[in-house]
A and B are shown apart, each in its own frame.
Chain A
Amino acid sequence: MTAFLQVQAIKKQWAHTVTVGPITLDVARGEIVALLGPSGSGKTTMLRLLAGFETPDAGGGRIVVEGEDVTTMAPARRRFGMVFQHFALFPHLDVGENVAFGLRGRADADRKTAEALRLVDLAGFERRKVQELSGGQQQRVALARALAPEPRVLLLDEPLSNLDPALRERTRRELRLLIKRVGITTVFVTHEQEEAFDLGDRVAVLSAGHLEQVGAPEELYERPATLFVATFVGRANVFRGAAARALSGADGVVVVRPERLRFAAAGLPGVVRERRYTGAAAFFLVESESGERFEVLAEPDAAQVGGRVFVTAERVIRLPENGQ
């Protein structure tokens, strides 16, 4: 069976040195996919290509929804809903007019508007001015506006970055529940790993315009395909040469998560340089004899600053030497 949303070898060259893609990605019906990457990785370009605000370079790249090729279709005819980073609510229209904007000409526009607002828990907010709303409420109006015309795909650009941190975690869970309840296929952009893991069914990691890996959060964390994914997704210690041999018994590049390192009676020797207490546990910054520095997550009283320790790895991730 073919996927609901197919991105096939899409490419966009910005300048001589800046190219996004070619990227190929399949999204199943009702799935939530996160595009995760640092700034400049091409994730926003990808989203804008999906929305139709950018046109991909010619040369065979295609975007297909439900078997329909929309690669060069104008954004207005794509039926993709979009929530913008700063929400882009029309300041001269009230909440109801904003939500009804995409419902033009429909006899049931009022009812649909009310329904969309009820969906985001803002029933009865039709006549409020958008400037009067809190950031969280504005975000929900933007979501209601995008969902009201019943689009085929929902696109979210950094949907939570504009909210204050205290609100983010709760909104994240509510957003996921809501999207799952509607059942809409969703692609969203974020630069925060936690957000991508919490909200996405699958996460696509981008770096310098390339798709590094696509997979479920556990897969990315436990079995990263590249050094970039290993270090960008979660904390990671990278070992090479003698230290790598001491921990894994083999040559090459070895990645170990801090919580997978243990203090033991024998192993890689080193000295504790710093201790950062986080409550339930502590991060110990250890310097090996060959000068490598790495973090060990352990019980708060597992070692003292200045003390000599031996470190072993419970589980190592082996990567090819040139794993970019």
Chain B
Amino acid sequence: MTRRNAQIAGTLVALLLVWLVVFPVLVVARDAADGAALRAFFGRAGEWAALWASVWISLASVALAAAIGVPLAFLFEWFDFPGRKTLGSLVALPVVLPPLVGVIAFLFLYGESGFLARAVQRLFGLAEAPWRLQGPAAILLVHAYSMYVYFYLFTRAGLAKLDVSMLEAAQALGAGRWETIRRVVLPLVRPSLVGAAILTFMTSLGSFSAPYIFGGGFRVMTTQIVATKLNGDVPLAMVETLALAVVAVAGLFLLRRTEGDDILVALGKGIAPRPRPIRSPKIRALATAAGWGFAVLLLLPHLTLALVSLVPYGAWTTEILPPVLSLENYRRLFSEAERLRPLLNSLWMSAVSTAIAVVLALVAGWLVVRRRVAVRRAIEGLLALPWALPGTVFAIALAMTFSVHAPPLRWVLVGTAAILPLAYLVRALPLTGRALLAGYRQLDPALEEAAASLGAGQWRTLARVTLPQLRPGLAAGASLAFVAALGDIVASIVLYTYETRPISIEILSSLRLSETGVAAAFGVVLMVVSALVLGIGARR
């Protein structure tokens, strides 16, 4: 491809991305410029309460996740005790659980009719459930459970990059253990901590399933938007969507500013400290017990889900443990056409959106890194943009943009089979984009030149050299994108039709019909498929 053609291709890709990720948001912004809706938004206390709730819930989630994840990271990276390796990877497990599945697992375990509540009720002979899993506390519990993993993984990665000689230097200069941590280790892992904080903040700001299921009367912005939209007050929903987008961008901007220089990281090239065995037998036993106890606690939701999925409809009333177990729910799930459909829908829609996201990211990566086209910064920014805005924003934006017939920019896609894959695609772009851009950057250009000097044309070089080299990044990006689409709820709830309903919608409707066993069976299937896909994606 000549330089000129590459420039043209780069411009086309940039325009396509603008249409996909910027144009819908602009449509929302325009529709939000509605006097009555703006007055309603600024006048109602409930709107401000929801916006404030989104912000404080997100900040509290960051604090809680850090309080769990950071100490765990130090424990597993610096100390050795029996079961360290196994537990170390078990601890990262909640990240495999799609948000909705995690939420219903919590419901079955800690909810008012969950195992724990039943046990307490029976134990003390109470007439009613001892508690209700509802409101901000319930949301924070779920957030802390699923998001401490970000802090845990990021901090461990940061600690692993730490040069042991720097710790020794601090000690040689007379610093004690705590002083070394405070003055050397924490500043050095700060970029990792900020990275985890940003990820946690953005995830909880966009979190939908936990507030949707556990919120009760407590509204955050994501649930508020969907409720307003379903109530038919479209202009107000637009204003709310825009408000959430503004908060997300502002939050991202403020958190980024605390990131500091990268110079610190660049220095940290060396051998990480080896995990130290815990010498004192008492503390060792304590650490081991705490580690295993924690692992059980982490696995309980998964086990609960599996157990509930084995309970046939109506077979479990007041007992602490279900009296009958069978594979009835799974049989129904796979034999009844109407129950199988959501599963197949989710699979094909996720597969299509992932495939397109991968191809787009491949082309974009090549244009940005290899051909260094003039619009490369723009392409990179556009690929990352959907990550900076909560899923609700895009769900609403796409719903608005594609319910109007105004070619060439707008078509009626809402109500067709195309809209959900399109929504999943937008959410997938940052994942595949980042993975493949990084992959291209790590790829030695000499490899492609070597292929060319050996007589290989462009296509053969791509197939035999470039793609095999990009495979790890490609697999990682694609598996993350696929799992995100599979577990999506917020775009699905706004855009699904009965024909194209995905698993998450089916889980919600099963719950509404009190078919907890079927909902759990769907959850287990979702969990297993996600874990398999992520496992394949992480293989080298």
Contact surface of A with B, Cβ cutoff 8 Å:
51-53, 74-82, 84-86, 88-92, 101-102, 104, 145-146, 149, 155
User: In the complex, A53→B456 CA distance in Å?
Assistant: 13
**Which residue of the partner chain, among B444, B447, B453, B469, contacts A80 with CB atoms under 8 Å?**
B453
B457 — which chain A residues lie within 8 A by C-beta? 74, 76
Which A residue sits closest to B449, measured CB to CB? A53
Query: What residues of A have a CB within 8 angstroms of the CB of B444 in the complex?
Result: 86, 88
Collect the chain A residues with CB atoms within 8 Å of residue B455's CB.
76-77, 79, 102, 104, 149
Judge whether A92 and B450 touch: CB under 8 Å. Answer: no
| Contact residues, B435-476 vs A (CB, 8 A) | 444, 446-447, 449-457, 460, 464-465, 468-469, 471
Question: Taking CB as reference atom, which chain A residue is nearest B457?
Answer: A76
Contact check, B447 vs A76: say whether CB atoms are below 8 A apart.
no
Of the candidates A84, A101, A102, A145, the one whose C-beta lies within 8 Å of that of B449 is A84
Please measure, in the bound complex, the distance between the C-alpha atom of A51 and the C-alpha atom of B451, giving whole angstroms: 12
Q: Say whether, besides A86-B446, A88-B444, A90-B447, A75 and B464 are in contact (CB < 8 Å).
A: no
Interface size on B, residues (CB 8 A): 18
> Do B447 and A88 touch (CB < 8 A)?
yes
Chain B contact surface mostly = helix
In the docked arrangement, what's the CA distance between A79 and B444, Å? 22
User: B446: shortest Cβ distance to chain A, in Å?
Assistant: 4
Chain A, residue nearest B471 (CB): A92
Nearest Cβ distance between residue B371 and chain A, in whole angstroms? 14
User: Does A75 lie within 8 Å of B453, measured CB to CB?
Assistant: yes
CB nearest neighbor in A for B450 = A88
> CA A75 – CA B451 in complex, angstroms?
9
Q: A91-B469, A92-B469 are in contact. Are A53 and B450 (CB under 8 A)?
A: no
How long is the Cα–Cα vector from A76 to B465 in the complex, in angstroms? 14
Q: What chain A residues lie within 8 Å of B465 (beta carbons)?
A: 90
Q: Across the interface, do B446 and A88 meet the contact criterion of CB distance under 8 Å?
A: yes
Nearest Cβ on chain A to B468's Cβ, whole angstroms: 4
Closest-by-CB residue of B relative to A151 is B453
Closest to B467 in A: A92
A85, B446: Cα distance in complex, Å: 9
| Structural contact, B452 and A84, CB atoms closer than 8 A | no
- Find chain A residues with CB under 8 A from B452 CB: 52-53, 74-76
Complex: chain A residue closest to B451, CB-CB: A101
The listed residue (A52, A76, A89, A146) touching B456 by CB distance below 8 A is: A76
B440 to chain A, nearest CB (A): 16
Cβ contacts under 8 Å, A75 to chain B: 449, 452-453
B454 touches A145 (CB 8 A): yes
Contact A82 B447 (CB under 8 A): no
Chain B's nearest CB lies how many Å from the CB of A146?
7
Bound together, the chains give a CA A81 to CA B456 distance in angstroms of: 12
User: Is there contact, CB below 8 Å, between B453 and A82?
Assistant: yes
- How far, in whole Å, are A104 and B452 apart by their CA atoms in the complex? 13
Tell me the bound Cα distance from A104 to B450 in angstroms: 14
Shortest distance between the CB of A8 and any CB in chain B (Å)? 22
Residues on the B chain within 8 Å of A90, using CB: 447, 450-451, 464-465, 468-469
Chain A residues near B447: list those with CB within 8 A.
88, 90
CB <8 Å contact, A101 and B453: no
* Complexed CA–CA distance, A276 and B456 (Å): 54
Contact between B453 and A146, CB atoms less than 8 A apart: yes
Contact A81 B469 (CB under 8 A): no
Q: Which residue of chain A has the shortest Cβ distance to B447 in the bound complex?
A: A88
The 7 closest A-B pairs by CB, nearest first: A102-B454, A88-B446, A75-B452, A88-B450, A82-B453, A92-B468, A84-B446
Chain A residues whose CB sits within 8 angstroms of the CB of B453 once the complex forms: 51-52, 75-76, 78, 80-82, 146, 155
Partner of A88, one of B449, B456, B468: B449
A75-B471 Cα distance, complex, nearest whole Å:
25
Alpha-carbon separation in the docked complex, A99 to B391 (Å):
49
Minimum distance in angstroms from B419 CB to a CB of chain A: 39
- The minimal Cβ–Cβ distance linking B230 to chain A, given in whole angstroms, is 51
**Can you offer 9 A-B residue contacts whose CB atoms are under 8 A?**
A75-B453, A76-B456, A80-B453, A84-B446, A90-B469, A91-B469, A104-B455, A145-B450, A145-B454
B460 to A, closest residue via Cβ: A104
Chain B residues whose C-beta falls within 8 Å of the C-beta of A76 in the assembled complex: 452-457
